Structure formats: structure tokens, C-alpha cells
Amino acid sequence: MSPATTGPGGTVPATDGTPPAAADTPPTAAGTVPVAVIGSGNIGTDLMIKVMRLSRTLRMGAMAGIDPASDGLARAARLKVATTAGGIDGLVEMDEFAGVKVVFDATSAKAHVRNAEVARRHGKLMVDLTPAALGPFVVPPVNLEEHLDAPDVNMVTCGGQATIPVVAAVSRIAPVAYGEIVASIASRSAGPGTRANIDEFTETTGEAIRAVGGAAVGKAIIVLNPAEPPLVMRDTVYCLVEGAVDAGTRERIAASVRDMAAGVREYVPGYRLKQDVQFDPVEDVVVPALGRRFTGVRVSVFLEVLGAGHYLPDYAGNLDIMTSAAVRTAERIAVLRGWVST
């Protein structure tokens, strides 16, 4: 077994979802838009495999890392992908870089600042999987087309990618006064990177619940579940809708959530609702986040995210949804910018 490596989603055991020989199987997809991945850890390697196996829009141009001995660079080389251990500077020096349209950053928030600057200087679209959030938040089924011209788009957080679509699904039917999400992930999928940035996770996700999900106030909580064997990602979404919510509006909200879940499932097959959308009356209670009393309905949605097992373990749905959203974002922007025909 390869040693664990650290990326923006943390550290997970470097066990593939497929046997080693199958993991090095030549790609079956045949995209035309060249992309590069910076970061040869688990996140970057999973991105590479998703592009090569699944995307009919993107194709791997290069992978850059800083550890010459990383499993990601070794696997890329076996798959005939051009590699460098020189980071962003090494990538720029590669012949393949000239044709690259999209750069995925799977490094760190600190490294992203310079990576984004270099990519912008060379006219490359940056898709940011780090907590840096220098560019606008993007959640593919919600607001991707609003940021077509942005040079740097940010994938929020794993919790944000899983739950913000649900908040948006509710808010497009009825105003959401308060949105709260609880993301529960396997402790083994949360390495030093995740653990050191818990506050940033909650702040970034809470902000995106408002900015992208449409809630007036947002809050995020993350739970690291130490259970063994590791449990898959579970998410709970609470939305407070003020005032009376009649039966017709409830059914429209439930239908909106189901439709949104189906949209996410197009690129994250393991994403699903655990049960029907729940509606509970709330009568004249104090909501501290609102700073006032509230009467209305609490909408509760319970989710599960099972990873695809391309490279990361299938319990690491929290990491898988980030790489899947990043690939989806790059594919759609490539089409919307006219780099490929639909």
C-alpha cells in the first residue's frame, strides 16, 4: 500500500478503489481541451483519473507536484501524462503548458495565491480546490453560468458542494431566513489540512450558503466521525422558511429538492437523499443566529455521498464530490466559452 498523502481535503490512505493494475488502465474517454493538475496528492490524482476515464471534454496535458517520489506523479507517468516535480514554475516551463486551457489547483490555500497569479498571467482558467477562495464560489448546478468570465473559480468546500444545492433548491421556491448544514465525514478522510482549517471550512461554507444558496443567514458545522470501518459522508440541511407554508408550497419545495439532487447525481452518482424532505412547524422560538423570534417551518433534508472509488476510498465522498464538481465546472466552462462544440 502506498503511504498516505496530504491534499486540500486532508489525508486519506492511498488505497485505490480499483486494483492497482486496473487503476493504471489506459483512459476510455477522449476529450479535446487540455488541462493541467497542480498537486500530486490524493485529490490531484483522483482529478487526473476522473479526467482520463470519464471526461469527453477534457484531456490531461500535464501534472505538476513538488514531491518527485509521490504516487500521483508516478501514476501519471505510467499513464503517459507529462509530469514535473517543479510545481507551478516547472509546469510553466513544460512544452505542454502552452496548450493548456484549464489548471486545477489541488495544493494549499497558501500556494494557491501564487499559482493563481501565474495562471492568470498566462491566460489559463484556474479551478481552485483549496480553501483560498480568491475567486467566486461555484456550485455547478446552482450558479456556474454566472461566472463564465472569471479567471479563477473556487469550489467552496466539500460540505458546501453537498449541501448548498439543497439550500438553493428550497430558496428558489420560498425565501430561506436561515440555512444550517451539518457535514459528517469519516475521520480517516480528514487529515492535517482539514483539521487545521476547521474554522475556515465553517466560515467559507456559511458564507456560500448565503451567497450561493440564497439563505439570508447561513451556518455550517463539520463533524469528524471516528467510526471504524469508516462511514460515508452524511449531510443534514436545515432551512427555516418564515410564515405559513401551505401543502402546495411544501410539495413544490420537495420536488425542487428532488430535482436538484438528480442534477448533482449526474456528476456524483453516489449522491442521494436518505429519505423524503421533512417539514416541521416552528412556533415563536428564539433563533440566535437571527437575533429574534421566529415562526414558520423547518425544512430538513438528509443526504449521503458515496465516493466513486476511482482513486480515493469510496467512504471519502467528501473528497470525491470536490473533484467531481471541479471536473464538471471545467467541462461546462469549456463548452460555454466555446472551446468545444456541444
- Residues annotated within the binding site for NAD(+) are 40-43, 189-197, 318
Please check whether residue 122 is in contact with residue 89, taking contact to mean a CB–CB distance below 8 angstroms. no
- The binding site comprises 40-43, 189-197, 318
Q: Is 189 helix (H, G, I), strand (E, B) or coil?
A: helix
3-state helix, strand, coil in the chain (%, to 5): 40, 25, 35
Single-letter amino acid, residue 189: S
Q: Cα(first)–Cα(last) distance of the chain, in Å?
A: 41
d(CA 44, CA 169): 30
Annotation says 158 is catalytic: yes
d(CA 37, CA 114): 15
Nearest to 128 by CA among 149, 154, 146: 154
d(CA 177, CA 218): 9
Burial bucket for residue 32 (CB in 10 Å: 0-12, 13-18, 19+): middle
Q: Give CA angle at 292 (291, 298), nearest 5°.
A: 100
Catalytic residue among 64, 100, 102, 158: 158
- Extract the C-alpha cell encoding 19: 486494483
Single-letter amino acid, residue 130: T
The helix-helix angle for 71-78 and 42-54 (nearest 10°) equals: 20
Active site members = 158
